[in-house]
Amino acid sequence: MKQSDFGGRIRFGDRPRPASRRDVLKRGAAAAAVVAVSAVVLPRFAIGAKTPVKVGILLPFTGVYAKLGENITDGFLMRLAEAGNKLGGREIEFVKVDDEANPAKAVDNTTKLVKGKRVDFVIGTVHSGVAAAMVKVIEKSPKTIMICPNAGNNDMTRDSCAPNVFRTSFSNWQTCYPMGPEVAKRGHKKILSVTWKYAAGQQMMDAFFEGFRKAGGGEPLEQIWIPFEDVEFQSILTKIAALKPDAVFSFFSGSGAVKFVKDYAAAIDRKQIPLYGPGFLTEGTLEAQGAAAEGIVTTLHWADTLDLPANRKFLADFKAKTGRTGDVFGVQGYDTGTLLLRAMAAVGGDTAATQQLIAAMEDTVMTDSPRGTWRMSKSHNPIQDFYLRRVEQGRNTVLGVAHAQLDDPATGCKL
């Protein structure tokens, strides 16, 4: 489906063109108009209210995380469309940029949105390394508010937390810590981990082994790291088969998760060496993974089978709008829309009221989210339930709550 099907004014990261003679004349006329208006002494916001709110969307639309970016965007736009595509009574102008999940381009991409396009809000992103670079730009631009709809980089809401940086998704720690005790309880001792070597993979493995160790589970048998976006798993699977761990703990996501789960099922008997991980292993991937995913147990803050009215509505509407099955990424986009709608309603659309916008976001208690009730922590990260899930007949069945209302430790955050 095309973005424009959602309505609203959507512009894609367009480049400025050189000024023509007509532009120069127009600017002269505009300057004269400003002089005339300022004589009338209108309150600042009365002028601002006529202009659209500018929302930058910085997400991956290419590479292994492309589908994550797409589903976050569609969940977000769907929520805004439900509310008539207005924020605090104002029209919305979107500026959408593909960050390619590339940290090297992140400072530039964010600066273009903040300084070049002068957006009021930046919605982004998926990749923890890109998010860290975004925060560096945003913290120096205190009037711009960033809402992160996925990237779990712990640091964003710990040492590097900032008043104008919020997250509607999770910290990497939260997604894996609850699985440690669960794997220990199942009697597995020799655990091998495998993931992409970047902030998210590192933090998730650390969190899992922290929980595992605390529950008396012991040290990792072996940790395998591969460069981000590599999806060549054959030599790793040969190594796993040779080492014969009791279980494997792994983080991959997007098209990387599809391939890993399929390759694993083809090479290894999961009854002998079960595969565990954060729910990203089986999110937005189940149709492509097919039988290869059956039986995989994960932890996550949402599941398609969560029997809540808000979840049933989300899944039905997402399917109707996009033709695709909703996933956790769509939910995070959707909740990002709710957060923004409420904050902008609280200030009557006045994007200059930064302190009040921040206060409204800090006060968030989501009682109508598809994931169940969550609230914003002092460090601007969701406090939420983490569910234990198992893939059954192509869906993530909820086995129970692995950790209720889990808060990130938020170490080093002073707000």
Name the residue nearer to ligand PHB (CB basis): 280 or 387. Answer: 280
Tell me the closest approach of the beta carbon of residue 64 to ligand PHB, in angstroms: 9
Name the residue nearer to ligand PHB (CB basis): 6 or 276. Answer: 276
Rounded distance, CA 196 to CA 198, Å?
6
Tell me the closest approach of the beta carbon of residue 331 to ligand PHB, in angstroms: 12
Report how far Cα 375 is from the mean position of its chain's Cα atoms. 16
Rounded distance, CA 303 to CA 322, Å?
19
Name the residue nearer to ligand PHB (CB basis): 65 or 209. Answer: 65
What is the DSSP secondary-structure string of 139-208? TT-TTSEEEESS---GGGGTTT--TTEEESS--HHHHHTTHHHHHHHTT---EEEEEESSHHHHHHHHHH
Residue type, 209: F
Instruction: List residues binding ligand PHB (CB under 6 A).
Output: 126-128, 150-153, 172, 200, 253, 280
Name the residue nearer to ligand PHB (CB basis): 137 or 328. Answer: 328
123 with 76: CB under 8 angstroms? yes
Tell me the closest approach of the beta carbon of residue 170 to ligand PHB, in angstroms: 8
Query: Under 8 Å CB-to-CB from 87, ≥6 apart: which residues?
Result: 53, 55, 80, 340, 341, 344, 349
For residue 400, the cross-strand partners are: 388
Name the residue nearer to ligand PHB (CB basis): 212 or 280. Answer: 280
Tell me the closest approach of the beta carbon of residue 257 to ligand PHB, in angstroms: 8
Name the residue nearer to ligand PHB (CB basis): 351 or 384. Answer: 384
Tell me the closest approach of the beta carbon of residue 258 to ligand PHB, in angstroms: 12
- DSSP-derived letter for residue 15 is P
167 with 122: CB under 8 angstroms? no
What is the DSSP secondary-structure string of 45-107? HHHHTTSPEEEEEEE--SSTTHHHHHHHHHHHHHHHHHTTT-BTTB-EEEEEEE-TT-GGGHH
Name the residue nearer to ligand PHB (CB basis): 127 or 188. Answer: 127
Name the residue nearer to ligand PHB (CB basis): 299 or 351. Answer: 299
Tell me the closest approach of the beta carbon of residue 253 to ligand PHB, in angstroms: 3
Tell me the closest approach of the beta carbon of residue 228 to ligand PHB, in angstroms: 9
120 with 54: CB under 8 angstroms? yes
Tell me the closest approach of the beta carbon of residue 251 to ligand PHB, in angstroms: 7
Rounded distance, CA 278 to CA 114, Å?
33
Q: What are phi and psi of 165, to 5 degrees?
A: -120, 120
